[in-house]
Amino acid sequence: MARPATGQTPVKTFRPPEPLWKEVTDIATAEGRKNSDAVIEALHYWVKKKRRERTAAKPTPPQSEAGA
């Protein structure tokens, strides 16, 4: 049976190390945010960083020597 439409993003589950999760909780609480918002922000940052790294690692095509 399919899950009913809720208009929300489906829940994802993961198991972070307890010390890391405590830090996430402490920081999110201090900023008046939910843990999930902090994790989503961190994932966005990580994805952007990896995209930049991949772009920087791609070799640039050699320049054409036509007209030299």
Is there a contact between 24 and 34 (Cβ–Cβ < 8 Å)? no
Q: Which of 24, 20, 49, 52 is nearest to 36 (CA)?
A: 24
In a domain, 50, yes or no: yes
Q: Which of 35, 32, 31 is nearest to 43 (CA)?
A: 35
Question: Could you report the per-residue pLDDT of 5-52, keeping only the tens digit for each?
Answer: 777 888 899 999 999 999 999 999 999 999 999 999 999 999 999 999
pTM of the model: 0.69
Q: Compute the average pLDDT of residues 46-66.
A: 85
In a domain, 45, yes or no: yes
CA–CA distances in Å: residue 25 to residues 32, 39, 41, 65: 10, 10, 14, 57
In a domain, 61, yes or no: no
In a domain, 3, yes or no: no
pLDDT tier for residue 66 given thresholds of 50, 70 and 90: low
